[in-house]
């Protein structure tokens, strides 16, 4: 039986500069792709101060980076 991993990004990181967000997200995505079955998510929701554009950029990054690693 294959088990799916769930990787959590600390939602407070979404208030940091993009390079920090990307660095942390990369580690989670890389570990998930290595395992083979993974769900990327936020640990405890989203703070009201987080910009919607940051969430969109993170979502696009996770999709694109995980697809790139799977090639």
Give the rounded distance of the alpha carbon of 2 from its chain centre.
Answer: 21
pLDDT of residue 1 exceeding 50, the answer is no
Give 5's pLDDT tier (boundaries 50, 70, 90). Answer: confident
Q: What does the DSSP assignment read for 9-45?
A: E-GGGGGS-HHHHHHHHHHHHHHHHHHS-EEEEESS-
Instruction: Convert the pLDDT of each residue in 22-58 to its tens digit.
Output: 999 999 999 888 888 888 999 888 999 999 999 999 9
* pTM: predicted TM-score of the whole model, two decimal places: 0.88
């Amino acid at each position: 039986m294959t088990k799916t991993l769930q990787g959590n990004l600390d939602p407070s990181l979404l208030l940091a500069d993009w390079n920090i967000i990307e660095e942390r997200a990369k580690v989670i995505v890389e570990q998930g792709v290595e395992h083979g079955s993974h769900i990327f998510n936020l640990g405890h929701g989203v703070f009201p101060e987080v910009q919607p554009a940051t969430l969109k950029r993170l979502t696009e990054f996770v999709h694109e980076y995980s697809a790139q690693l799977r090639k």
